[in-house]
Amino acid sequence: MKRIIYLLALPLLYFSCKSNNTPSLTADYVAVAPSFNEDSAYQYIAEQCAFGPRVVNTAAHDSCGNYIADKFRSFGATITDQYAESKLYDGTQIRMRNIIASINPEAGARIIISGHWDSRPWADHDNDKEKHHTPIDGANDGGSSIGVMLELARQMSIQPDSSKVNIGVDFICWDAEDCGTPTFAEDNGDGNTWCLGSQYWSKKRHDDGYRARYGINLDMVGSYNTVFYREKGSLNYAPNIVDKVWATANNIGYGNYFKYDDEGGYITDDHIYVNMGGIMCIDVIGSSTDGASFPSTWHTANDNIKNISKETLKAVGQTMLEVIWTEK
Ligand code: AHN
Ligand code: ZN
């Protein structure tokens, strides 16, 4: 009798574990979104990189901010700028600009899709120590998120009225995410030196009564050899949104990118501050396929346009379009 119970219990145990780690897939899922153009997203990344590193307090940064706002405006978005000041780890005063690009600004039902637009002032993870004080292009780290977001906005703008979506989307471009204390400096332990733009926004929204159903933050969504694990902070704050995004990706054939088999670690990123500001938000952040937490170009001089994969951009962009198009 004991053995029979064992035999019955085993498959049950197996399935209960599995259900934890398997997205709610829909058999014969029929995709509804238009086709995401990865060439176009790639071009927007190249155009950002052409300004030079988008380091806070530099002319290249400011010019690229104007480029991003103008580009979103050309896709019909209404731009709200949030200018603010903050301080780096060493006390340096910085000027920040969070750029909020709203599609369908009148719609009550809204979602946030965000990513940071600044690039890191220091390649402090480069193998070559000489480069540790050199700013990075941030093609992947920063550029890829904005490139994908611009193409999402363009797709929303070019659809015929009959197939346009009615929900509102706020594309939020965070500034000063990536100027956290460099490895060569002493951390003064005075709070979190990363994500300064989203930290500011979490305390003072760009619009007092602002509400959104949820947010999806994109970070490093364009490198080769990248996969996306379900990040722990996202699972804590917004497990159902994680499931929705990963299930959508798997349903449309990107299960090779959106991995459900392992949980990722906890990452302090802009989504954490959106959650602290009272809107649930997840992070879609690239990990390396070799098991390292971040892509191999992370905070190195190799984070440039040559190391951007159109295939990765397509996997993320198409998934995001499908999420937008199925939001009721
Ligand atoms: C930290 O390294 C503390 N957070 C990772 C967030 C990040 C940096 N994303 C891109 N660059
Ligand atoms: Zn970074």
Cα 292 to middle of ligand 1, angstroms: 14
Task: Judge contact between 327 and 167, C-beta under 8 A.
Answer: yes
Cα 141 to middle of ligand 1, angstroms: 9
Q: Which atom of ligand 1 is nearest to the CA of 180?
A: 3
Strand partners, 218: 284
pLDDT at 23: 74
Q: Which of 210, 84, 197, 87 is nearest to 145 (CA)?
A: 197
pLDDT at 12: 42
3-state SS of the chain? CHHHHHHHHHHHHHHHHHHHCCCCCCCCCCCCCCCCCHHHHHHHHHHHHCCCCCCCCCHHHHHHHHHHHHHHHHCCCEEEEEEEEEECCCCCEEEEEEEEEEECCCCCCEEEEEEECCCCCCCCCCCCHHHCCCCCCCHHHHHHHHHHHHHHHHHHHHCCHHHCCCCEEEEEEECCCCCCCCCCCCCCCCCCCCCHHHHHHHHCCCCCCCCCCCEEEEECCCECCEEEEECHHHHHHCHHHHHHHHHHHHHCCCCCCEEEEEECCCCCCHHHHHHHCCCCEEEEEEEECCCCCCCCCCCCCCCCHHHECHHHHHHHHHHHHHHHHCCC
Reading across the β-sheet that carries 93-103, which strands appear in turn? 78-87, 93-103, 168-174, 110-116, 215-219, 281-288, 226-230, 258-263
pLDDT at 112: 98
Q: Which atom of ligand 1 is nearest to the CA of 120?
A: 11
Which residue, judged by its Cα, is nearest atom 1 of ligand 1?
268
Which residue, judged by its Cα, is nearest atom 2 of ligand 1?
268
Cα 178 to middle of ligand 2, angstroms: 5
Measured from CB, residues less than 6 Å from any atom of ligand 1 are: 141, 178, 180, 194, 219-220, 267-269
Q: Which atom of ligand 1 is nearest to the CA of 141?
A: 10
Structure token digits, residue 323: 């999420």
Strand partners, 288: 226
Structure token digits, residue 10: 């085993």
Which residue, judged by its Cα, is nearest atom 4 of ligand 1?
268
Q: Which atom of ligand 1 is nearest to the CA of 269?
A: 6
Structure token digits, residue 225: 């050899």
If one residue of 141, 198, 232, 267 were mutated to test the ligand 1 pocket, choosing by the most ligand atoms within 8 A of its CB, it would be 267
Residue 157: how many CB atoms within 10 A of its CB? 14
pLDDT at 291: 82
If one residue of 114, 145, 194, 284 were mutated to test the ligand 1 pocket, choosing by the most ligand atoms within 8 A of its CB, it would be 194
Which residue, judged by its Cα, is nearest atom 10 of ligand 1?
141
pLDDT at 177: 98
Cα 178 to middle of ligand 1, angstroms: 7
Helix 310-325 × helix 144-158 angle, to 10°: 50
CA angle centred on 180, ends 119 and 268, rounded to 5°: 100
CA angle centred on 158, ends 155 and 159, rounded to 5°: 90
Which residue, judged by its Cα, is nearest atom 11 of ligand 1?
178
For residue 53, give the ligand nearest its CA.
Answer: 2
Cα 314 to middle of ligand 1, angstroms: 23
C-alpha distance across the termini of the chain, in Å: 51
| Local confidence pLDDT in tens for the 328 residues of the chain | 344 444 444 444 433 333 456 778 898 999 999 999 999 999 999 999 999 999 999 999 999 999 999 999 999 999 999 999 999 999 999 999 999 999 999 999 999 999 999 999 999 999 999 999 999 999 999 999 999 999 999 999 999 998 889 999 999 999 999 999 999 998 877 779 999 999 999 999 999 899 999 999 999 999 999 999 999 999 999 999 999 999 999 999 999 999 988 889 999 999 999 999 999 999 999 999 988 789 999 999 999 999 999 999 999 999 999 999 999 8
Task: Judge contact between 217 and 114, C-beta under 8 A.
Answer: yes
For residue 119, give the ligand nearest its CA.
Answer: 2
Strand partners, 230: 263
CA angle centred on 239, ends 235 and 245, rounded to 5°: 105
If one residue of 120, 193, 268 were mutated to test the ligand 1 pocket, choosing by the most ligand atoms within 8 A of its CB, it would be 268
Task: Judge contact between 97 and 83, C-beta under 8 A.
Answer: yes
Query: Alpha-carbon distance 100 to 104, whole Å?
Result: 13
pLDDT at 20: 57
